[in-house]
Amino acid sequence: MAEDPTRTSAPVHDVIMIGAGPAALTAAIYTTREDIDTVLFERGVVGGLAAVTDWIDNYPGFPKGIAGLEYADLLREQAERFGAKIELGEVTEISGEVKGITDEGKYRRLETTEGEMLAKAVLIATGSDYKKIGVPGEQEYYARGVHYCATCDGAFYRDKRLVVVGGGNSAVQESMFLTKFASHIDLLVRSDSMRASEILQHELFEKHKDKITVHFNTTTDEIVGTDDKVTKVIGTDTTTGKKMEYETDGVFVFVGLKPNTEFLADTNIELDERGLIKSDEHLQTSMPGVFVAGDVRSGATMQIASATGDGATAALHIREYLNEHARTHGDS
């Protein structure tokens, strides 16, 4: 932790990174190797969505693929080897104004679950979270029959029936993964076709047709259960208007992702129409000293490889920013 005679009682760090997924962990490897004091705050799982992905098959350098959790553990180990400090907690507010100290433009103020902290630079790498479908029963049976992570919860459904909701790559990939456990899967697709890639669709229909039944033009209207478990899903066949019921022991929802930017609602950090964070060519946001990397950045490709590239790029620009600030503010 950096010492500064002008500071308040709040701890001061060179860089605070919000999130500890592939983008932030990669950035931390770069910053800490150069002895830049770096703290990461993660409110969920270290490694982000990569950590709860069953298998990563398209990351360079792993010709046989790698389990998502193993990949996340390796990233964490590497970042910590150089001195990165990872805190399991949450940043709830970020501000460019720091009251009560001299030279306040030098710092960004963050409210965290560990209290107030100051940082000379901030990296937002909060990634995305699973979208909800917002139907009756979804919230009531969350973690008691309704899930968003097949890797985390699939093993609970060995020899059970499942319903999967969604028609994109994630829905198809996770449905195929769930066949390791489930006796049968009903895949509910709202439209008349899937958004998943042709390769995944081919694998689904060729290799898993005995275990997965795809229902096109089918909405998910309600998740029904007893006090302690899900028993069925009620939907509608939109071609006939007929109500459909699917008996099931659990429901897995894969309908896309939403950016984790809610905590920025009262800041002047500019977002795009999807809620992703806008940045300049240096990955700096509209708040000076605050950078962005990974899936939460506007224009991101939502790939692990590009997230790590973002992290490296952001770290280099953060270093330049800190060097310039040291000259401007007379740091030693």
Report the C-alpha gap between 246 and 237 in whole angstroms. 12
**Whether the predicted pLDDT of 176 surpasses 70:** yes
272 belongs to the catalytic site: no
Kindly report whether the global pTM for this prediction surpasses the value 0.85. no
> Would you state the pLDDT for residue 104?
53
152 belongs to the catalytic site: yes
Nearest to 162 by CA among 236, 235, 232: 232
Least confident of 50-59, 145-154, 182-191, 242-251: 50-59
Six token digits for residue 185:
């899967």
Contacts of 301 (CB under 8 A, 6+ apart): none
Report the C-alpha gap between 324 and 23 in whole angstroms. 23
* pLDDT mean over 135-163: 93
DSSP letters, 47-107, are: THHHHT-SEE-SSTT-TT-EEHHHHHHHHHHHHHHTT-EEEE--EEEEES--TTSSSGGG-
Report the C-alpha gap between 99 and 112 in whole angstroms. 17
Instruction: Name which residue leads in pLDDT, 137 or 98.
Output: 137
Could you tell me the pLDDT band of residue 101, with boundaries at 50, 70 and 90? low
> Would you state the pLDDT for residue 100?
54
Instruction: Assess contact for 223 and 138: CB atoms under 8 A.
Output: yes
Mean pLDDT of the chain: 92
Instruction: Assess contact for 222 and 233: CB atoms under 8 A.
Output: yes
> Would you state the pLDDT for residue 308?
97
> Would you state the pLDDT for residue 3?
46
Contacts of 161 (CB under 8 A, 6+ apart): 182, 183, 184, 185, 186, 247, 248, 249
Place of tokens 């990974």: 294
Report the C-alpha gap between 113 and 90 in whole angstroms. 6
* pLDDT mean over 142-154: 89
Amino acid at 80: E
> Would you state the pLDDT for residue 25?
98
Q: Which of 37, 54, 153, 310 is catalytic?
A: 153
Instruction: Name which residue leads in pLDDT, 31 or 96.
Output: 31
Domain with CATH 3.50.50.60 in the chain: 12-129+257-329, 132-253
- Phi then psi dihedrals of residue 43, to 5 deg: -90, -15
**Whether the predicted pLDDT of 161 surpasses 60:** yes
Q: Which residues pair with 243 in a beta bridge?
A: 236
- Phi then psi dihedrals of residue 68, to 5 deg: -60, -45
Coil/strand/helix, residue 263: helix
CATH class, domain 12-129+257-329, is alpha beta
- Please state at what angle helix 22-33 crosses helix 68-81, rounded to 10 degrees: 20
Q: Which of 4, 73, 129, 152 is catalytic?
A: 152
Q: Indicate the CATH number of 132-253 among 1.10.10.10, 3.50.50.60, 3.40.50.970, 3.30.230.10.
A: 3.50.50.60
* pLDDT mean over 83-89: 96
> Would you state the pLDDT for residue 90?
94
DSSP letters, 150-215, are: HHHHGGGGTT-EEEEE--SHHHHHHHHHHTTT-SEEEEE-SSSS--S-HHHHHHHHHHSTTTEEEE
**Which percentage of the chain shows pLDDT scores above 70?**
93
Report the C-alpha gap between 217 and 104 in whole angstroms. 57
310 belongs to the catalytic site: no
Report the C-alpha gap between 284 and 9 in whole angstroms. 28
* pLDDT mean over 291-306: 95
Q: Which of 4, 149, 221, 331 is catalytic?
A: 149
The pLDDT tens digits of the residues spanning 191-210 come to: 999 999 999 999 999 999 99
Instruction: Assess contact for 315 and 110: CB atoms under 8 A.
Output: no
User: What are the CA-CA distances from residue 49 to residues 16, 158, 176, 252, 257 (Å)?
Assistant: 20, 23, 18, 16, 10
> Would you state the pLDDT for residue 103?
56
